[in-house]
Amino acid sequence: MSAQSRAMTFGIVVGNRGFFPDHLAKTGREEIISTLEKAGARAIVLSPEESKYGAVETYDESLRCAELFKKHADQIDGIIVTLPNFGEERGIVDAIRLSGLQVPVLVQATPDRSDNMTIAVRRDSFCGKMSACNNMMQYGIKYSLTTLHTESVDSAEFKADLEWFSAVCRIVKGLKNLKIGAIGARPAAFNTVRYSERILETSGISVDTLDLSEVFGRIHRMNDHDDVAQEKLKAIKSYVTTQGIPDEALLKMAKLGAVIDQWMKQTHSTISAVQCWTSMEEYFGVVPCTVMSMMSNNLIPSACEVDVPGVLSMYMLALASGTPSALLDWNNNYGSDPNKCVCFHCSNLPKHFFREVKMDYQEIIAGTVGKLNTFGTCVGRVKAGVMSYARFSTDDRRGVIRGYTGPGRFTDDPLETFGGAGVAEIPQLQKLLKYICHEAFEHHVAANFSDVSKSIHEAAVRYLGWESRYHPALED
């Protein structure tokens, strides 16, 4: 099941302040539950039997709400604070603090009707939202805001905000206690993919390493007819066209894939980055591209050239969208168009990225190690569609994780080349390229067929404590 198709679960805090119309708390609770149900999400919220209208106002009600959240802590992806009236700010923040949950929080306020603001129906949620946010700041609670200051939970705006916030929650939850497998050493010629394990560890992200000698040793001990090897061989043949690829090379790929699968399961590693050249080709005789492509296509991203921060960026996009990510090079200009470029790898792109794809040999490395040692690439043209890109890296001098993200699209513009390649159109691309070079970011960038860059940015700056630049710029 993909991250996006998994049903989201939200803890709901319904704000209420008694000297405002508290019947609004009753209907507000019912409305948010109905909205979440229509979105396929689950609400964890106090019942009318547990508190007045199932809302939170008094400290006792905060305690009950906190206990309910604790009971479902493993299930709750995020918290939604809904303000059908002004709301008691102390009750709201106490409930969140006492629950002990460290999850994203979305604050929503329901608008008043300008044609009916009598004492019986006036909400003042517009004002109450400011007080709730002020108290969350005082309590050290991190929170997100809806697009509009006030918006009804049954509005198109809130529906879009709920999708955006759900993606934020998936990113934050997915990166918690994440383990990344680094398979092989960084290619000697690629200083650009250096990174700091220690800085990643400050965000709860660990790296497990596996030397290629161990990979080759485990493969050597594996019989050609072992079930795991044959199952992987069958999976490879059903994944991509293998016409013209030697059987010996396909079996090598199958054993490689089986060994990586076993090791990642043993170490509880979720995603991986692999030394894809040139030791693999010189001393084993295939490229690992298809094996990595299959993992990425199954939402288990795998990055080439042991780019650990690169695969982390891929994973953030996959968590947000529920669809496969790829690691690409910002590689070539596209004629004289300043807002278009060629994104390329040679390639381990997931099948999801291609119009059509086949297995072939790696033309670049073949010139060094010979064609027969480079079978296993996934070759084809990247399809057209909306895309998001992201790149986060460790800044070792300042001891921070920093990056950038933004929207773009892959186009149908003509392109004759090899590997896996597509033409990308990025708003104000020249400005982005100057930023990448001035700030010394890598030439690798993660991409995904989705529109989730705003969720990536929000998760990074609001909840992960990372530095993020949104390109070209956020409206707010």
What pLDDT, in 10s, does the model give residues 373-384? 999 999 999 999
What percentage of the chain carries pLDDT values higher than 70? 98
Could you tell me the pLDDT band of residue 476, with boundaries at 50, 70 and 90?
low
Cα separation, 33 vs 38, whole angstroms: 9
DSSP assignment letter at 405? E
Q: What is the 3-state secondary structure (H, E, C) of 242-256?
A: CCCCCHHHHHHHHHH
CB-CB neighbours of 182 under 10 Å: 23
Per-residue pLDDT at 312: 98
Mean pLDDT of 317-344: 98
Flag whether pLDDT at 468 surpasses 50: yes
- What angle (nearest 5°) sits at the alpha carbon of residue 111, between those of residues 110 and 115? 145
Spatial separation of the C-alpha atoms in residues 122 and 119, rounded to whole Å:
5
Which of the two residues, 123 and 77, has the higher pLDDT score?
A: 77
Q: Is the peptide bond before 246 cis (omega within 30 degrees of 0)?
A: no
b or e along 239-260 (b: 16 or more beta carbons within 10 Å of the residue's beta carbon)? bbebeebeeebbbbbbbbbbbb
Position 384, amino acid: A
By DSSP bridging, strand 179-183 and strand 375-381 are unpaired
| Alpha carbon distance 353, 349 (integer Å) | 7
**Per-residue tokens: 206:** 């660990």
The pLDDT value given to residue 367: 87
| pLDDT tens, residue by residue, 139-178 | 999 999 999 999 999 999 999 999 999 999 999 999 999 9
28, 85, 140, 324, 406 from 23: Cα distances, Å: 8, 9, 31, 46, 42
Residue 153's nearest CA partner among 45, 36, 46 is 36
Do 324 and 350 meet the contact criterion of CB atoms below 8 Å apart? yes
- Here the tokens at position 380 are 């084809």
- Omega of the bond leading into 269 within 30 degrees of 0 (cis): no
pLDDT at 5 over 70: no
Question: For residue 392, what are the β-bridge partners?
Answer: 403
pTM above threshold 0.75: yes
CB 4, CB 323: distance < 8 Å: yes
Q: Model confidence over 276-288: pLDDT tens digits?
A: 999 999 999 999 9
Are residues 361 and 371 in contact, defined by beta-carbon separation less than 8 angstroms?
A: yes
Summarize the confidence of residues 332-359 as an average pLDDT: 97
Q: What is the mean pLDDT of the chain?
A: 96
> In the predicted model, is pLDDT for residue 212 greater than 50?
yes
Rounded mean pLDDT of 456-463? 98
Coil, strand or helix: which one is 263?
A: helix
pLDDT tens for each residue of 393-435: 999 999 999 999 999 999 999 999 999 999 999 999 999 999 9
423, 411 in Cβ contact below 8 A?
A: yes
pLDDT score recorded for residue 114: 82
Q: pLDDT digit string (tens) for 95-150?
A: 999 999 999 999 999 999 887 777 768 899 999 999 999 999 999 999 999 999 99
CA angle 186–398–447, rounded 5-degree value: 50
Closest CA to 76 of 60, 96, 91: 96
* Cα 171 → chain centroid: 5
Read off the pLDDT band of 3 (50, 70, 90): very low
Cβ pair 265, 244 in contact under 8 A: no
| Residue 378, CB-side half-sphere exposure with 13 Å CA sphere | 30
Radius of gyration from C-alpha coordinates of the chain: 25
